[in-house]
Amino acid sequence: MKITAFFLSFALLMTSAPSNATLINFIYTGSGSGSIDGVDFDNATFVITEHSNTDDITACSSTCKTLKALTTTISIEGVGFFDFITETRTFSVNGIIGFSRVLNGGLDLFNLKSSAFNFDLASSLAPITTTAELKQWSRSPVETSGGILEFKDADIFGTFEARLGGISIPTTVPGPSTLFIFALGLALLSIRRYSAKN
């Protein structure tokens, strides 16, 4: 029994250490008109921020890469700050950086065009302002913490920036403290040993 408890405690200690991945933030800025939860806004500046894990980069074709966001937020001037509920992603293909849905065929929402966008989605990129388009927001609901968000289709100028965090985020969430479990196992062994002597 003592040996089993010791090995169980040791196994828990060795298997619960989280691995690390690199966080990258994609920041999209522009201005547009639309509505959130039925409340209209006009020509409002917005900032969309995606937080992603570079380990999740996948190829969508031989010239395309995509990265699904862990979380996405939007701040709309004069309206508020909201979390996206609809899953989003960033993609890079043939001089286009795009912000799109993950589901519903990956319909694009905000595309920016520049020859500087042969981008690997895994490194920092200084802000680039270029021609952009808001599109397809009404084709399928985009849910946020503030309700359904919809931008009107428009050709605008937008800015894209990538910030490689150098921040490590756990890709697994350990349960209760491993050291606590190990100590508990040792305490139970001591109590059992003490009880057996008396």
Asked if residue 3 belongs to a domain, the reply is no
Asked if residue 11 belongs to a domain, the reply is no
Asked if residue 56 belongs to a domain, the reply is yes
pLDDT (tens digit per residue) in 127-164:
999 999 999 999 999 999 999 999 999 999 999 999 99
3 state SS of 63: coil
Rg value, the chain, Cα: 24
Asked if residue 127 belongs to a domain, the reply is yes
Q: How many domains does the chain have?
A: 1
User: Residue 8: which pLDDT band, with cuts at 50, 70 and 90?
Assistant: very low
Asked if residue 195 belongs to a domain, the reply is no
38: DSSP letter? T
Asked if residue 49 belongs to a domain, the reply is yes
55: DSSP letter? G
Q: pTM, whole model, 2 decimals?
A: 0.73
> CB within 8 A of 71, min separation 6: which ones?
50, 51, 83, 84
